[in-house]
Every structure is written in C-alpha cells, then in structure tokens.
C-alpha cells in the first residue's frame, strides 16, 4: 500500500483531512489528540511516555531506546522509584531527551484477553494523564503501549487507548495536547481509525 492510499484510507476512517505531514488531529474539549508516524524519542513536548517494565530499569523496544537516548542519569533516577505496578505510572526528568520529562508506565502482557488486560491498559493511559496534570505537563506523547514485546493486538490496543484518553480529556482539564507517535504504518492506520471511531461514538 502506497502513502497516497494510506492517507485516503485514514481520511475515510477518521472522517477528516490529514495534513501533508501525516498528522491526524481531533479536538476533545479544549485539548487536541494527534496521531503521527515517527520516533517518540524525537518529540519536543513536555513529556513522552515510556512503555516500561516493572523494574523501570530499562529493557527492549521503546523502553531501551528511551534509556539510551536519555543517558545514565535516567537509570539512576529510575532506581530510586523502586519499580512500578502494571497499570500505574511514575515521572522522571528527561535528561538528554528533547522532552522535559518521561512518564513511565507498565502495560499488561497480552494473555488472550482473559487476564484484565483491557483494564490495565486503560489504567496506563489514565494514570499517565493524571501524573501529567499533577506535574503541570501540558503536552504528552504516547507510544502504542503493550503492542511490542508484550504482544497486545494493535487494533484492540488502539481502541482501548482512544476511549481511555477521550474519556479522561472530557472529564479533566490541564492537558492541551495528547500525541500518539506510532513507529510503523499499520499501527498509525489503526490508531487513526480508532480516533475517528472514538470521536464519533462520543458524538
């Protein structure tokens, strides 16, 4: 599938135009939700979210990449946090990253959908946004939590993420921009589709 076809499909799913740089955007109250394809490490927002493991001491995928880019002081601060429960979130400085802060959250491992995965994944997004407000974070970027090594199916995760973020932004003020930064085209497409469905469902 070429880029033009992807853009056409996304526009049909979301029900709105996509900018030339591939940003899909919807307004939820005073806040904006954006879907972009890119590298979350390059985001220059108040905070980026790290899809961490329970130790918070680094791992594979996004977690390892964030730790490498932030430098050794991130590991040192994470060591003082004494881990994090699945579905919870904790904040650190961004150190050598472009983002001012990193909000670390631990997503669920996919076990077929019978182990409260949906509940825990929704909690990840809510807790990250709660921590953001508590720390005056106005703009935040999320990866596709649990969709890598933890095996959460992207279509299910996308719908869960959009509903959780939409509901939170309707009920709370304090975050102006929520950006989902997806590494590949299929995830970008699924999250854009889920955003359109979540907004239509709200209406």
* Nearest in space to 93 (alpha carbons), one of 80, 84, 102, 83: 102
Q: What is the pLDDT of residues 4-51, one digit of tens each?
A: 444 444 444 444 445 556 899 999 999 999 999 999 999 999 999 999
The CATH number of residue 152's host domain is: 3.40.220.10
Domain count, the chain: 1
**Whole-number Cα distances in Å, 47 to 2, 85, 117:** 32, 20, 25
Q: Which sequence positions are flagged as catalytic?
A: 63
Whole-model pTM: value is 0.91
The CB-based long-range contact list for 115-120 (8 Å cut-off, 24+ gap) reads 117/146, 117/152, 118/156, 118/160, 119/87, 120/86, 120/87
CA distance 57 to 64: 9
Predicted confidence at residue 18, as pLDDT, reads 57
Task: Write out the residue range of the structural domain in which residue 171 sits.
Answer: 3-202
């Amino acid at each position: 599938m070429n880029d033009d076809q992807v853009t056409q499909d996304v526009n049909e799913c979301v029900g709105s135009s996509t900018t030339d740089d591939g940003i899909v955007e919807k307004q939820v109250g005073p806040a904006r939700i954006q879907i972009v394809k890119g590298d979350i490490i390059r985001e220059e927002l108040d905070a980026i979210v790290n899809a961490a493991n329970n130790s918070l001491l680094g791992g594979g995928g996004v977690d390892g990449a964030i730790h490498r880019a932030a430098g050794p002081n991130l590991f040192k601060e994470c060591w003082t946090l004494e881990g994090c429960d699945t579905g919870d979130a904790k904040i650190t400085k961004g150190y050598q990253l472009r983002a001012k802060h990193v909000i670390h959250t631990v997503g669920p491992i996919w076990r077929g959908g019978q182990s409260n995965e949906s509940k825990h994944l929704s909690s990840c997004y809510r807790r990250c946004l709660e921590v953001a407000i508590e720390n005056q974070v106005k703009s935040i970027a999320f990866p596709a939590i649990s969709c890598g090594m933890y095996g959460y199916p992207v279509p299910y995760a996308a719908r869960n993420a959009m509903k959780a973020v939409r509901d939170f932004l309707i009920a709370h003020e304090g975050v102006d921009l929520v950006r989902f930064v997806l590494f590949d085209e299929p995830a970008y497409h699924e999250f854009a589709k889920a955003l359109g469905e979540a907004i239509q469902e709200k209406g």
